[in-house]
Chains A and B, each alone.
Chain A
Amino acid sequence: AQSVTQLGSHVSVSEGALVLLRCNYSSSVPPYLFWYVQYPNQGLQLLLKYTSAATLVKGINGFEAEFKKSETSFHLTKPSAHMSDAAEYFCAVSSGDSSYKLIFGSGTRLLVRP
């Protein structure tokens, strides 16, 4: 069965610092992986996704993630944090069954200090 683990329920960085949000997955089939962002009182917005093409995936707002099969990881990074990046971030894996539902991690809340 597919599962996702996000290490760190809260991550705090200074404005301009590197952002690193961790995601590890477990999958019985080649995984499709997603990062979504949720701003307060809003739905989920796709940041980027891995669909078995390039292992380094670039997304919106300067974010990128690298798929590492050997480490079963798909960590999200951004070189320089902005105040507007403060939000909750969810890593997800497609279920691998015929519904293709998303299996989400528990989320990481990113705090950006001025």
Chain B
Amino acid sequence: GAGVSQSPSNKVTEKGKDVELRCDPISGHTALYWYRQSLGQGLEFLIYFQGNSAPDKSGLPSDRFSAERTGGSVSTLTIQRTQQEDSAVYLCASSPRGTSGRETQYFGPGTRLLVL
């Protein structure tokens, strides 16, 4: 079946502009995660959605970052007033229920963001 998809695959933007990154999780998966992969920080958690529960936003690095998940499926990560340090690969993952640490998280191919 289809895996996690992300768009765009690459995004180049100018400092100060806003960007939106999209994630389509595996159909039926209740939980959705965003992670960021950068040279200096490695792989770090950003935000978690699970069903209708309030999201865990504890990993968002600043108030310029926000995310939403509409209809329990597609998610959009928005970065406002981008900075050069936002350049990274943004990875989305989904898991069936998100109610156990045993669950496998399935990752998308990522969006490579470059802020000039």
Q: What is the interface of chain A, defined by CB distance below 8 A to chain B? A: 32, 34, 36, 41-46, 49, 51, 90, 92, 94-96, 98-107
Known contacts A43-B109, A90-B43, A106-B42: A32-B102 contact under CB 8 Å: yes
**CA separation between A36 and B42, bound complex, in Å?**
14
> 7 closest Cβ contacts across the A-B interface?
A94-B101, A43-B107, A104-B43, A32-B101, A44-B107, A99-B56, A99-B48
Residue ID in chain A nearest B56 by CB atoms: A99
**CA separation between A42 and B107, bound complex, in Å?**
9
Closest Cβ of chain A: how far from B9's Cβ, in Å?
9
Q: Which residues of B contact A104 (CB under 8 A)?
A: 42-44
**CA separation between A44 and B108, bound complex, in Å?**
7
**Contact: B110 with A43, CB < 8 Å?**
yes
How many residue pairs, one in A and one in B, have C-beta atoms under 8 Å apart? 63
Known contacts A43-B107, A46-B104: A100-B98 contact under CB 8 Å: yes
**Contact: A107 with B33, CB < 8 Å?**
no
* Given A99-B48, A102-B33: 7 more A-B contacts, CB < 8 Å: A42-B109, A42-B110, A44-B91, A44-B107, A49-B104, A100-B95, A100-B103
Please encode chain B, from 78 to 116, with 1 for each CB lying within 8 Å of some chain A CB and 0 for all others.
000000000000010101001111111111111000000
